Copies of this chain bind each other. A is one copy, B any other.
Amino acid sequence: MNDSYLNFVNSPFGARLARSLGLPKPEVLRRYRADQPEFDGLIAIGAGREPHLLDALANLVAGIGMTSVAHESAGLWVPLAHRHGLMTGRFEAAESGSHGKLTALLFDASGIEDSSQLEPLHGFFHDTLRSLGKCGRIIVLGRPPEACATPRQWTAQRALEGLTRSLGKEARRGITANLVYVEQGAETGIEATLRFFLSPRSAYVSGQVVRIGARAGTGTMPAFDWHQPLAGRRAVVTGAARGIGASIASVLAAEGAHVIGIDIPSAREALDATMRQLNGTALAFDIAAPEAPAQIAAALDEQGVDIVVHNAGITKDKTIAKMTDAAWQSVIDINLSAQERIDDALLAAGILRDGGRIIGVSSISGIAGNLGQTNYAASKAGVIGRVQSMAPHLRARGITINAVAPGFIETQMTAKIPLTIREAGRRMNSMSQGGQPVDVAQTIAWLAHPGSAGVSGQIVRVCGQSLIGA
């Protein structure tokens, strides 16, 4: 729960000592606070040939009230920005000090059709990266490779991934770098996602690749308020009594949702306390019980539900030679099969409403495998399969399904890991620190957002760009 090294090296004495000993100095990440402006400072805009997304970006920049400067690669930005009534200027590398520190770098690579056209990316980041301040944001925008018209275009767009992930590893200082692929026709659906990646809400999300497609479903986009986007929505969160689950419940409630927290009967007291604070509803069910799907469906039937977050999960780590059959089965059942049963019950009865959101919790172990976690990793890899397989099925109803995959998150569970292993897990990422439960919760809130209707079938790691992967 407490990274004392992070605190120490950010104290005046600790900072001096760390500097003189050459120790890593993780940045104190800037996180979202309701009493601080979510967006401020100066964005530098860059672009490759024939950028298709500048208009959507101008709308976004106007909406969040930031100021922009155009890099020489994005000459089109200045007249466009003026049309949108934006204050804007030109980025001059030589006098970048005069702009003060930049808070975000946005590059529109959507028009790049050949590997020989990638050079402006180098020019832009070469000129601007040093002017990006602590906890700054790098966002590269492209077209989904698999939807490109030619192999040359697919190849060039796919190359952006190597660049963006490298930028994340280079930038350090709490800076995140992410790649957003926007499908043709989905330009107007980028705002919720870009707000998330620009905001301190995404403090621990870096090195990720997200695709925005055409909006699922047929209805019009429901109206919402950017300050209370989940107002009027009902959200179920499993495992909500404590830890990450309680944090998810709390963030969804802060965004306006009515939260229905589910946890096992033995956690009833903690669950009741958490739900009382949030004016939520507590349901004490063991999700692994055969009757649970029907019970949950019955409890939600009258008012329905808009958001389902499958957060409940357990670990029973042992090497497979020492793992009992019961340990294998219970982890697979609670972390994976129970979700399938509950979703199926809610979907079949129409209790999860059209336009709804399902969000699973996978894990880096599910992506990369892990020693002693054959059961856990299988269950969390299964969650990825669940997301990918269900997304096309749910599209017609406007329901999205996605998962987050946390890396090292500071919780009571990770606090029990022996010190040296804990330190390795904490530092082996671009932020040189573990994440907080709220980082997972904020990522889930973005996926639950009414504006995220074009984001489905995706796995987003909340890992500070952990080195570990597959």
Contact = CB atoms under 8 A, between A and B. Distances in A.
Interface in A351-387: 365-382, 384-386
Contact of A160 (B166, B372, B381): B381
Given A115-B340, A116-B337, A371 B332 contact: no
B467 A122 contact: no
Interface string A104-143: 0000000000111011011101100110000000000000
Contact of A378 (B118, B367, B386): B118
Interface in A207-230: 207
A101 to B, nearest CB: 15
A388 B115 contact: no
Given A122-B374, A328-B122, A374-B122, A163 B323 contact: no
Contact of A170 (B365, B371, B469): B371
A468 interface: yes
A313 interface: no
A207 B369 contact: yes
Interface in A141-200: 145-146, 148, 150-152, 154-170
Chain B CB within 10 Å — which of A121, A161, A336, A337 has the most?
A161
Q: Chain A binding site: helix, strand, loop or mixed by DSSP?
A: helix
Given A368-B469, A390-B151, A469-B468, A166 B378 contact: yes
Contacts of A367: 162, 469
Given A125-B374, A393-B151, A468-B468, A166 B365 contact: yes
B320 A384 contact: no
Contacts of A337: 114-116
Contacts of A165: 368-369, 377, 381, 470
Nearest to A122: B328
A377 B162 contact: yes
A412 interface: no
Interface in A305-338: 319-321, 323, 325, 328-329, 332-333, 336-337
Interface size of A as a range: 35 or more
Contacts of A321: 125-126, 129-130
A279 interface: no
A7 interface: no
Contacts of A379: 115, 159, 162
B164 A369 contact: yes
Contacts of A470: 161, 165, 207, 469-470
Contacts of A152: 340
Given A158-B381, A159-B382, A340-B155, A166 B369 contact: yes
A22 to B, nearest CB: 13
B382 A155 contact: yes
A11 interface: no
A340 B154 CA distance: 12
A118 B162 contact: no
A129 to B, nearest CB: 5
Instruction: State the copy count for this chain.
Output: 2
A368 to B, nearest CB: 6
A157 B385 contact: yes
Contacts of A167: 320, 369, 374
Nearest to A146: B388
A2 interface: no
B170 A320 contact: yes
Given A115-B332, A122-B325, A162-B366, A385 B154 contact: yes
Interface of A: 114-116, 118-119, 121-123, 125-126, 129-130, 145-146, 148, 150-152, 154-170, 207, 319-321, 323, 325, 328-329, 332-333, 336-337, 340, 365-382, 384-386, 388-390, 393, 467-470
19 contacts: A118-B332, A122-B375, A123-B325, A146-B388, A151-B390, A154-B386, A155-B385, A158-B388, A159-B379, A159-B382, A162-B376, A165-B369, A165-B470, A166-B372, A166-B377, A170-B371, A170-B374, A367-B469, A468-B469
5 nearest CB pairs, A to B: A158-B385, A165-B369, A469-B469, A162-B381, A162-B377
Given A158-B386, A165-B377, A166-B320, 19 more contacts: A114-B337, A122-B328, A122-B375, A123-B325, A151-B390, A151-B393, A155-B389, A158-B382, A161-B381, A162-B367, A162-B369, A162-B378, A162-B380, A163-B374, A163-B377, A165-B368, A165-B369, A167-B320, A469-B469
